[in-house]
Amino acid sequence: MSGRCWIAMAGLLASASAWSLEPDALFAKVVPSVWTVRASDAQGRHTSQGSAVVIGPGRLVTNCHVLARMSHFQVTKDNVSYGGKLEFPDPENDLCQIRVDNFHAPAVEMADMDTLRVGARVYAIGTPQGLETTLSDGLLSGLRRDGTGQLMFVQTTTPISPGSSGGGLFDVEGRLIGITTFTRRESQNINFAVPAYRVAEVAERSRRLLEQRNAPRVSSPAIAAPSGPTELTAQRQPGDWFEYEITDHYTQLTQSVNLRVDRVTADTVVFNGGSRVEGMDGKAKGSQAHALVELDMVTPSGGWAPGGQVMKGVRQLKVSASWQNQPASYDLTAAASPEQLLRVGEVEYSAVRIDLQGWHGRVFGLFHINVPYRATVWYAPALNRVIRFNAEFRNSGSASGSTRVNETLELVRAGRN
């Protein structure tokens, strides 16, 4: 290589390095834009802590799991605190935009996702283990995409610990690459951030969720309530209808799921034009209803009353299931309690409470991991259906170990036309 070429290459390297900030300069540039989130429950108990990144005037973004089940939260730094309000939740991407009044911290600059390269040095700033505005560094170790090529996660060797959730991952120019979200605890230094481009989508995605929630509901004559209360039997008949409400406790969004029996064969019950099929034991054989997926997957073979006998005492359950070709497994202890009366519309049904606790294996993002799992089923033998169900499980890969699913399904009306 000629001397002239060496000089040209040296010039290019010098020009490139001129854009890179030294770690202390990078920290000074971005630290005003990274804050701590402290969340409390309805009793005022501080139960969750994470980080947040300023993205605009009075606007920050954090992970939704930092705020899960919390009633109040503040953004804090150096003994300065501001009350915050959830503005736009995007639980699918685990990003929640929060609003803080009279808050004037500078917003971060967003990185161009097309410039990301594996092997580049990156920096994380957050509140790991309660230590405010901690700087750590590492490499961008992977760009994880889905089957369509869309960037889903930025993988990094930068250390992430409980409290880092919602913090920022930055390039060497101090531009935001992603929001640090979870780590694979059973592995060494495999950590992930939600790509920064998702931040710009939060408001629109949240608005769509709200529109779905507030959309007018068109009543179907086939499931219209009769003039008086109708107590169903365990034997299904065409014209039986069930209205469930599912509440996502992350966002407090509630949706209705209406099931109408179209026909009954010797061993199946067909609902809603074939979009859902159940066996006589109440276990789904096929369903397109995403809202019921958690109950469907955890329901054991034979349902909650195998052979017509409702579960009693304590027993072990091992269940294998799948959703959209993604396998899942449950290794649980089931403990049944005495029957109690629960109201469904204007009718009371006697229901057996079954508490489930143990482990759940599922694909989270790109990986199959086991997480602690707990749920409660209220099963009404006279109705041969679950009339209430709540499930809660934690993603052990999360940087804060916080709840990732917390939902309640409840039968609110039922009848026979």
What is the per-residue pLDDT for 12?
44
pLDDT at 146 over 90: no
What is the per-residue pLDDT for 230?
65
CATH number corresponding to 233-416: 2.40.360
Q: What is the DSSP string of 216-280?
A: PPPPPGGGPPPSS-----SS--TTEEEEEEEEETTTTEEEEEEEEEEEE-SSEEEEGGGTEEEET
How far apart, in whole angstroms, are the C-alpha atoms of residue 5 and residue 66? 53
Asked if 19-203 and 233-416 have one fold, the answer is no
> Which residues are CB-neighbours of 222 under 8 A, at least 6 positions away?
239, 241, 260, 417
For 184-212, how does the pLDDT look when each residue is reduced to its tens digit (9 = 90+)? Answer: 655 567 888 999 999 999 988 888 776 66
Mean pLDDT of 274-296: 82
For 14-53, how does the pLDDT look when each residue is reduced to its tens digit (9 = 90+)? Answer: 444 447 899 999 999 999 999 999 988 666 666 678 999 9
Burial level of 34, CB count in 10 A (0-12/13-18/19+)?
A: buried
How far apart, in whole angstroms, are the C-alpha atoms of residue 5 and residue 184? 45
What is the per-residue pLDDT for 13?
43
What is the percentage of the chain residues whose pLDDT exceeds 90?
37
pLDDT at 300 over 60: yes
Residue 141: which pLDDT band, with cuts at 50, 70 and 90?
very high
Residue 225: which pLDDT band, with cuts at 50, 70 and 90?
very low
How far apart, in whole angstroms, are the C-alpha atoms of residue 310 and residue 288? 27
The long-range contacts involving 315-323, CB below 8 angstroms and separated by at least 24 positions, are 317/356, 317/358, 321/296, 321/297, 322/297, 323/293, 323/296, 323/297
CATH number corresponding to 19-203: 2.40.10.120
pLDDT at 124 over 90: yes
Listed residue (88, 110, 90) closest to 99, CA to CA: 88
Per-domain residue ranges of the chain: 19-203, 233-416
What is the per-residue pLDDT for 218?
40
State the pTM of this model: 0.56
* Residue 109 or residue 149, greater confidence: 109
| The token pair that represents 172 in the structure block | 């060497």
Which residues are paired to 354 by β-bridges? Answer: 336, 377
> Which residues are CB-neighbours of 233 under 8 A, at least 6 positions away?
382, 383
**Cβ(122)–Cβ(195) under 8 Å?**
no
